[in-house]
Amino acid sequence: MTFDVKYCLITICTLCFQLEAQGQVLSDTMRTKDIQEVTVTSDRTTNPTSVSTTRKADTRLMQATSTLQISDVLKYFSGATVKDYGGVGGLKTVSVRGLGASHTAVAYDGIIITDNQTGQIDLGKFSGSQAESVRMVSGPDNDLLQPAALAAQAAVISISTGRPNLQDGRPKYSAQLKSGSYKTQSIQAESTFNAGLRNTVSLQGEWLKTEGNYPYTQNNGASSLEMRRDNSDVQRLRIEGAMFSDIGNNSTLTTRAYWFQSEQGLPANILYNENAARERLWNRNGFIQSTLTTAVSQRFTLRFNAKYGITYTRYLDPKVSNTQGRTDNRYTEQEGYLSAVAFYRIADCLSASFGADGRISYLDGNGAEQAQPTRYTLNSTAAIKYASERLTVTGRLNHVATKEKTRLRQAAQSYNHLSPTAGVNWLAWSAAGLHLRASFSNTFRLPTFNDLYFEQIGRRDLRPEQASVTSAGIVIDNEIGNVSYSIYADAYNSNVKDRIMAVPGKNTAVWMMKNIGQVTTHGLETGLELHAQDGTVRPALLVSYTYQRSMDKSDSNSSTWNHQLPYTPRHSASAVTWIETPYINASCNLLYSGEYFCNGYNGPEYRMPSYYEIGCSVWRTFTSHLLEVTLKAEIINLTDNRYELVRNYPMPGIQARSSVTITL
């Protein structure tokens, strides 16, 4: 291999680390009552009236799936492909419908979290205990109050912290201690109280520490070794505070301040004979944001969001054979965000909205080659919705305009892009609770700062990557006696055009980013849910299956033509079951992934075997008039199945965890 090619590969590898090294600008907004939506209060993870496929996990499902990190529960969502580098600190990204992880937006309490540097959000950085629910929508959302930036996304994962509801105005305090294998410990404390008549304040803090030095097997025939993960420690601290205010005139205001910081090691790619891991990663992320919702009249509602966030990332490899003897990359990304949405009910069944988001993002780094880009983004959206008892139709037009500025050399071109989405949901057979739904979305993702400006590889002339998805499905949502059930099946066809990829340039030794890829995916997402509605013994069962055939359609002469996208199993499935009784609650969960490839070329060298993982847990809540105590024990990967999800990044084997939660 020539030096340059190797260097490029190293650089691409570095880019991967910087995916890990990304910081999140967590954002948040107030959650007001869903004025426009018929609130669905059932246990079901799927929403039968949605025009798109939706999945939602509440605290119970997160309990049943032993969710430590948000990414854990997402693995049980049909249609979500989670790429996991293993352990608490390993990067976890989610792609939906073969579109690639950068087409999946993540929203924290309704506002998009952006990472302009890598375009990917590490969902492992969100703790399961900070969310009241996690919802995934693959396609257009019914919600007309959605800000413009979110409306323009192919898929959105929304993490909701929930609005506290204090009974009789009594303050609420809770604390949780968790302890698990490989020296995993976490402490969480929360207090919620009223401040005056109209304000509720919620404060939350969480600290997590793990050694993560789990054993793994390095398979190399006669020289196979039993090893332990090294440099896999993680320490994280999160503090957030929110104030929910009723400010009169049918207006509510939520203000949230958020602080997250972490230090972790990056366990190495396990190469034969050479496993030394030294790299370290630090993240600091803080933001403050506000959401104001005001119902001007019965028909007219306005929502404003504002946010300022700063993310600091440091990546250190203390032993590199360069002049400094190390690689020490530091990045600071800052963001200012303003958003407004106006909602107007034209008639009983017909409403419309218009929204606009402005954002300034600035990235600074310590290297001499840092372009220091500033991106100005203006998202606008116009939507219309018809919603009767049996029929929901939505249509939306999104527009994005960007402008960029750089300190070093020329900036990327400005983008100006229109993209429509539309959806329909029809209650075809009311007695059976049978809905038919269909949606179409045309969305895009902007080139990331790395795509555009990364030294040597980045190219300024990239266009946005475009995705279009057509989906149609059926949902049956009904009850038989005490048992509610839902069955869903959605088939879709998706296309990614102008996919941004690293390819060798004219000089084969110089790699570059290029709009070269095209991917077509045919898929099916299907599942069944059963919930006992009441009674002292309440069982529940969730089963899902996903089929994805993601074909590379970039170049019919290429060796990868029609090959399956890497890390995309054709078949995957999951099952969760739990039972609630007055004495004890118990759950069992199963994940299965069929074989897949770790490279776009589906050669046998790159074949990854299928795997499964089984877990279970038991918990019980003891209640007295003073306090409530919940004890929980979990076993993850019960069969100690050793597998790699990402090639050469082993996943942990069997683990145990226990927790105690006290609520006053």
Partner 1 sequence: MRKHLTKILPLLLIALACDPEPVLLEQGQVIADGDHTGVYVLSEGLFNQNNSTLAWIDFGTGQPDSWASGTGRSPDCFEKVNGRRIGDTANDLLLYGNRLYIAVSESSTIEILDAATCSSLKQIPLNRNGIASQPRRITATAGFVYVCCFDGTVTRIDTLTMQADATITVGRNPDGICCANGKLYVSNSGGLDTQNPDNTVSVIDMNTFTETKRITVRSNPGSIYADGTNVYVVSRGIFDYGTMDYDSRLHRIDTKTDEVTATYNIPILNMDIVDGKAWFYGYGAGGTIQIMDLKTGQILDSDFITDGTRVECPYAIKLEPTTRKVYVCDALDYVTPGSLLCFSPEGRLLYRVQSIGINPNTVAFCDNKVTLTQYQGEPKIIGDINRVFRYMPAPGQFVNLLPKYEQGDDASSMNDKCLKALQSGNMITLGGFGGYITAGFNTTVHNLEGPDFRIDGNAYNGNAEPGVVWVSADENGNGLPDDTWYEIWGSEQKEGRATYGYGITYSKPTASDGDSPWTGSDGQTGSITHNTFHSQPYYPEWYAGESVSFTATLLPDNVTYQDGIYVMSSFGYGYVDNLPNSPENSAFDIDWAVNPDGTPAGLGSIDFIKIQNGVIGCNSTTGELSTEVSAIYNLNPKAE
Query: What residue ranges bind partner 1 (CB under 8 A)?
Result: 1-7, 9-10, 13, 220-223, 269, 271-274, 276, 319-323, 368-369, 409, 455-456, 459, 504-510, 512, 558-560, 598-601, 603-607, 647-648
Shortest Cβ 1–partner 1 spacing (Å): 5
**C-alpha distances in Å from residue 351, one per residue of 384, 386, 419:** 6, 7, 20
Q: Which helix (H) or strand (E) holds 328?
A: strand 327-345
Smallest distance, partner 1 to C-beta of residue 506, A: 5
Q: Which residues pair with 384 in a beta bridge?
A: 352, 395
* Minimum CB distance to partner 1, residue 271 (Å): 4
* Smallest separation (angstroms) from partner 1 to the CB of 505: 7
Distance in angstroms (rounded) separating the CA atoms of residues 157 and 107: 6
- Minimum CB–partner distance for residue 458 and partner 1 (Å): 10
Q: What are φ and ψ of residue 128, in 5° steps?
A: -60, -25
Instruction: Return the H-helix or E-strand segment holding 9.
Output: helix 3-20
Q: What angle do CA 587, 592, 597 make, to 5 degrees?
A: 155
Rounded to 5°, the CA angle 469-36-482 comes to 85
CA distance 378 to 359: 7
Q: Choose between 269 and 663: whose C-beta lies nearer to partner 1.
A: 269
Find the farthest-apart pair of alpha carbons in the chain and give their distance in angstroms, rounded: 75
We find the least distance from the C-beta atom of residue 559 to partner 1, in angstroms, to be 4
The enclosing H or E element of 62 equals helix 59-64
**What is the side-by-side order of every strand in the sheet holding 111-113?**
53-58, 133-138, 155-160, 104-108, 111-113
Instruction: Tell me the closest approach of the beta carbon of residue 592 to partner 1, in angstroms.
Output: 22
Amino acid identity of residue 322, one-letter, is: N
Of 300 and 601, the one with the shorter C-beta distance to partner 1 is 601
Q: How far apart are CA 333 and CA 313, in angstroms?
A: 9
- State the Cα–Cα distance between residues 434 and 314, nearest whole angstrom: 52
In the bound state with partner 1, the residue whose beta carbon lies nearer, of 276 and 629, is 276
Nearer to partner 1, 12 or 537 (CB): 12
Task: Give the residue with the Cβ less far from partner 1, 534 or 605.
Answer: 605
Q: Tell the smallest beta-carbon distance from residue 91 to partner 1 (Å).
A: 15
Measured from the CB atom, is 7 or 386 closer to partner 1?
Answer: 7
Say how far apart CA 152 and CA 158 lie, in whole Å: 14
CB of 601 to partner 1, least distance (A): 4
Nearer to partner 1, 401 or 408 (CB): 408
How does strand 644-646 pair with strand 215-218?
unpaired
Closer of 320 and 633 to partner 1 (Cβ): 320
Q: Which is nearer to partner 1, 253 or 519 (CB)?
A: 519
Q: Return the closest-CA partner of residue 107 out of 72, 143, 65.
A: 143
Query: 61 or 412: whose CB is closer to partner 1?
Result: 412
Rounded-to-integer distance, Cα 296 and Cα 294, Å: 6
Contact (CB, 8 A) for 25 and 285: yes
- Please say which residue, 169 or 604, places its beta carbon nearer to partner 1: 604
Instruction: Choose among 305, 394, 308: nearest CA to 356.
Output: 305
Of 176, 110, 164, the C-alpha closest to 137 is 110
- Closest approach, Cβ 100 to partner 1, in A, equals 18
By the 8 A CB rule, do 663 and 181 touch?
no
**Which residues, 6 or more positions from 204, have their beta carbon under 8 angstroms from its beta carbon?**
130, 188, 189, 190, 238, 239, 240, 241
Q: How far is the CB of 509 from partner 1 (least distance, A)?
A: 7
Tokens 């209060």, residue located: 41
